[in-house]
Structures are given as C-alpha cells and as structure tokens.
Amino acid sequence: VCLNGGRLGKLVLASTEPREQNPNQDLMDQKESKSGEKDLNRVPEKKKVTIFLRAVGGNTPILKRKKFKVKASNQFSSIISFLRKNLNCSTSDSVFLYCAQSFSPSPEEVIEDLFNCFQINNELAVYYCTTNCWG
C-alpha cells in the first residue's frame, strides 16, 4: 500500500498467469454516491481505532482524557468537531490538527486510512493546537 496525494492507492503485483479482466472493477472500487462522496462501506461498521489527542503549543488547553475510540469509517472531520466541542471553542477560534507532527489531513479523509499509514503502538496520534505549529 502506498500513499498517493493523501489517498491510499493499491499496490499491484504483476503475475505470469492470465487473469480475467472485469471492465467495471475500477467503477466498483471507486463507487460514489449521488452527492459525490466516496463510499465508506469498505470499512467494517463495527471496527474502531484508538485516537491519541496530544496538545502542543504554549496556550493550548489540555483534555482530561487523551485517548478515544472512534469508528474507523468516520471522516477526519468528526475528530475536528469532537475536539472543538470538548475545548469549548467558539466559531471564530482556530484549532489546528496534525498527523505525524507534520501535516494537516483533509476533513474528508477516512480515519482508517490515516490509522493504517501513521499508527504508532496501535494508536493514531493527532496533535492539536490553537496556533499554527507545523506549517
């Protein structure tokens, strides 16, 4: 599996044996709903991943509880809204979230994709702050 522009791609291995080609396979892999969102049913509904929220920066409020279990099929925007709610942020307050201490994932990113790429000790570390830290 490789990371390609923030999305996971498939690693295709060449085989010497002929295989049947399904012309609709690409369409089935990237099924989209009428609203244009990608189909998130590829992740089992009951699968959950552990998110470790770490505060960085000088004046960032610290959560009492730092580890949470969330559905793997949720989008990253669910973590953003959850954190804003628990920090009692107003709509004008800024909150920055980072993965791997370097980049801010897209709100549409599926949590399981981030977890598969950036997990450490079976946890996805998400760093948050009220000021821009890593770009």
Inform me whether the pLDDT recorded for 7 exceeds 60: no
Per-residue model confidence as pLDDT tens digits over 17-37: 444 554 444 433 444 444 445
Question: Which is more confident, 55 or 12?
Answer: 55
pTM metric for this prediction: 0.66
Residue 119 binned pLDDT confidence (cut-offs 50, 70, 90): very high
Question: Which is more confident, 98 or 33?
Answer: 98
Q: Which tokens hold the place of 35?
A: 């609203």
Q: For residues 8 and 106, what is the distance between their CA atoms, to the nearest angstrom?
A: 13
Contacts of 49 (CB under 8 A, 6+ apart): 69, 70, 72, 111, 112, 115, 119, 124
